[in-house]
């Protein structure tokens, strides 16, 4: 009798993305997986959603945790991070523009002792010329790989670099040497109305509303223009072609609530809304407004309070 050997698939290495809100974790997840959303699941005992995606080529399972708020963080979020500490590798996602302030805070909130780790510094395109000195400093001080990235523009080479760093990841030093990190001047963007001390929060709120109101209004105008054309070019010819059919059957197919007429109208009125809102959201994420607008609005409200 022949013994058949069934090869068991190699267990995927769990890689957990952790970081503060607006650190660029979602962009990093999207850049590594090639999609906006992964499989979503709730952590046991909470309503917090975690995104998961498999990178089978590298035998990795990527978990994107909710961003931590520096202030007023919910207990649920912290419980989520503690439960996901069972991951094999932790990717610490920190804004390169704020690494000096945010990295000690994040390390103080997380217990990554003995965990393989990689530090990713996002918004590298907004950092000054001192970024390379910071990368070398944290690489030596933490004893792990440090990758400066512009997560909004990642190509195949960048993806491969990150995956190789994950596979080669090792635990950070038990006593990190972060006494005097070098400062990196930030390439400040041109000041806009969003930064105005009085009107900034209202401009940001108006921009957020327009991101959804404008696409819906444009879709409404487009659908109102295209529907008469669809009636003239599609439905009316079909009515003429089916004039000899049994009237109940014609009503089922082409009546006011018929399968063809209602399906066509649903497409005309729904598809432009979905398409334009999707385009608006994608443009907001790629331009960085998604990260900036909520921060400016909430920051403005906090100051006024």
**pLDDT means per 10 residues in the chain (305 residues)?**
45 86 86 64 50 84 80 57 71 90 86 87 84 90 92 85 91 85 65 67 78 90 93 89 84 85 90 90 68 48 40
Pull the structure tokens for residue 259: 């399968």
What's phi and psi for 177, nearest 5 deg? -100, 90
Pull the structure tokens for residue 284: 């907001």
* Integer Cα distance of 42 and 132 in angstroms: 38
* Integer Cα distance of 94 and 274 in angstroms: 33
Per-residue pLDDT at 297:
46
At which residue do the structure tokens 């690489």 appear? 139
Contact (Cβ atoms closer than 8 angstroms) between residue 62 and residue 38: yes
Per-residue pLDDT at 221:
94
Does the reported pTM lie above 0.75? Answer: no
Contact (Cβ atoms closer than 8 angstroms) between residue 116 and residue 143: no
Per-residue pLDDT at 67:
79
* Spatial CA neighbour of 62 closest among 137, 8, 118, 103: 118
Q: Are strands 60-64 and 145-148 parallel, antiparallel or unpaired?
A: unpaired
Torsion of CA 234, 238, 241, 247, to 10 degrees: -170
Per-residue pLDDT at 197:
72
What's phi and psi for 170, nearest 5 deg? -140, 165
* Integer Cα distance of 184 and 217 in angstroms: 44
């Amino acid at each position: 009798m022949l013994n058949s050997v069934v090869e068991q698939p190699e267990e995927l290495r769990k890689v957990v993305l952790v970081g503060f809100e607006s650190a660029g974790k979602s962009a990093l997840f999207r850049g590594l997986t090639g999609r906006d959303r992964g499989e979503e699941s709730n952590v046991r005992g909470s309503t917090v959603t975690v995104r998961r995606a498999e990178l089978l080529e590298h035998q990795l399972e990527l978990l994107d945790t909710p961003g931590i708020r520096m202030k007023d963080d919910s207990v649920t979020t912290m419980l989520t991070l503690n439960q996901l500490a069972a991951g094999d590798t932790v990717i610490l996602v920190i804004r390169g523009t704020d690494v000096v302030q945010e990295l000690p805070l994040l390390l103080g909130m997380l217990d990554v002792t003995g965990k393989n780790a990689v530090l990713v510094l996002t918004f590298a395109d907004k950092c000054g010329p001192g970024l390379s000195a910071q990368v070398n400093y944290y690489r030596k001080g933490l004893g792990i790989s440090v990758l400066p990235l512009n997560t909004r523009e990642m190509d195949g080479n960048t993806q491969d670099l990150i995956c190789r760093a994950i596979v080669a990841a090792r635990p950070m030093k038990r006593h990190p040497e972060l006494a005097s990190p070098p400062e990196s001047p930030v390439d400040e963007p041109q000041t806009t109305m969003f930064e105005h001390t009085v009107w900034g929060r209202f401009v940001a709120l108006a921009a957020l509303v327009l991101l959804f109101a404008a696409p819906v209004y444009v879709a409404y105008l487009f659908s109102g223009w295209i529907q008469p054309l669809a009636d003239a070019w599609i439905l009316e010819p079909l009515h003429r072609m089916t004039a000899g059919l049994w009237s109940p059957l014609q009503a089922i197919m082409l009546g006011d609530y018929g399968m063809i007429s209602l399906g066509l109208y649903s497409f005309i009125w729904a598809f432009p809304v979905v398409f334009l809102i999707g385009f608006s959201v994608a443009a907001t994420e790629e331009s960085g407004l998604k990260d900036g607008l909520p921060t400016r609005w909430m920051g403005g409200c906090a100051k006024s309070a």
